Amino acid sequence: MPFPYEIPLIAVLQKIVRDNYQGLAPDEKPCQKKAGLELDEAMGWEVNSNRGIPSRPSASIVARLQPEKWREDPKRSRKPKNNN
């Protein structure tokens, strides 16, 4: 069933999810860099540098597409504050 308010970004995101996140083995982690670069290319967004790093908008969007089990716990990734 098509989404009633389909815009190009939504169609691209659906394709990226199908291509990069569906059918992964339980221990296989998806490649966010690849998905981000695919999003940049499909939307005509510029890559951050000639090193092939996805743009900030695509990196942010792809991070939210990632399955829950691979998302980092924000509490664990922060450095503890020095209370001295």
- Span 28-73, pLDDT tens digits: 777 889 999 999 999 998 887 777 899 999 999 988 887 666 656 5
What pTM did the predictor assign? 0.69
For the ranges 16-20, 67-71, 74-78, the maximum mean pLDDT occurs at 16-20
Q: What distance in Å separates the CA atoms of residue 4 and residue 24, rounded to the nearest whole number? A: 29
Inside any domain, residue 24: no
Inside any domain, residue 20: no
Q: What distance in Å separates the CA atoms of residue 60 and residue 62, rounded to the nearest whole number? A: 6
Q: Which pLDDT score, from 0 to 100, does residue 40 have? A: 93
Inside any domain, residue 1: no
Give the residue, 8 or 5, on which the prediction is more confident: 8
Inside any domain, residue 23: no
Q: Total domain count for the chain?
A: 1
Inside any domain, residue 57: yes
Inside any domain, residue 54: yes
Mean pLDDT in residue range 8-33: 85
Which residues constitute the domain of residue 64? 29-68
Inside any domain, residue 43: yes
